[in-house]
Amino acid sequence: MDKYRSLLNERAAVLTQKKATLAPERAVFAEVITRTASQSKETLTRQLFREDQVQQIFEQLDQVRDALQRVNDGSYGACCECGGEISASRLQLLPETPFCLSCQRTTELG
Ligand SMILES: [Zn+2]
């Protein structure tokens, strides 16, 4: 468990740093979006993409925090959907994931 705890802590540090670099730009982008009505669709799409990235980082940070909590209460490594075991290789790659691979697929398919 300690291995995953440090993986998650590293993850949180990286994400927090990313958030710090993206967040100020986010404010600028929001301003540009509201100020410029006549911009091209392409520019707007790119801005929204950046917006998505920031959103994603926030979500990942949430997941990392939840995962650390699961490490603490001993439920880490079990899928939050089906209760099955999440494979070690998957946790190594995506330590904050709350789902096993098959549940993740199901979720993504909607
Ligand atoms: Zn599952």
Structure tokens at 41: 């669709």
Question: With contact defined as beta carbons under 8 Å apart, do 71 and 82 qualify?
Answer: no
Q: Is the pLDDT of residue 38 over 60?
A: no
Q: Is the pLDDT of residue 66 over 60?
A: yes
Residue 92 Cα to ligand 1 middle (Å): 17
Of 89 and 35, the one with more pLDDT:
89
Torsion angles phi and psi, residue 85, rounded to 5: -80, 135
Q: Where are the domains of the chain?
A: 2-109
Fold adopted by 2-109? Four Helix Bundle (Hemerythrin (Met), subunit A) (1.20.120)
Residue 83 Cα to ligand 1 middle (Å): 6
Question: With contact defined as beta carbons under 8 Å apart, do 44 and 79 qualify?
Answer: no
Question: With contact defined as beta carbons under 8 Å apart, do 64 and 12 qualify?
Answer: yes
Residue 15 Cα to ligand 1 middle (Å): 25
Torsion angles phi and psi, residue 77, rounded to 5: 100, -10
Measured distance between the N- and C-terminal CA atoms of the chain, rounded to whole angstroms: 31
Residue 4 Cα to ligand 1 middle (Å): 19
pLDDT bracket for residue 20 (50, 70, 90)? confident
Give the global pTM: 0.73
| % pLDDT > 90, the chain | 56
Residue 63 Cα to ligand 1 middle (Å): 16
Report the mean per-residue pLDDT for the chain. 85
pLDDT of residue 48: 73
**CA 50: distance to chain centroid?**
14
Residue 109 Cα to ligand 1 middle (Å): 14
Q: Is the pLDDT of residue 24 over 80?
A: no
- The string of DSSP codes covering 36-66 is -SS--HHHHHHHHHHHHHHHHHHHHHHHHHH
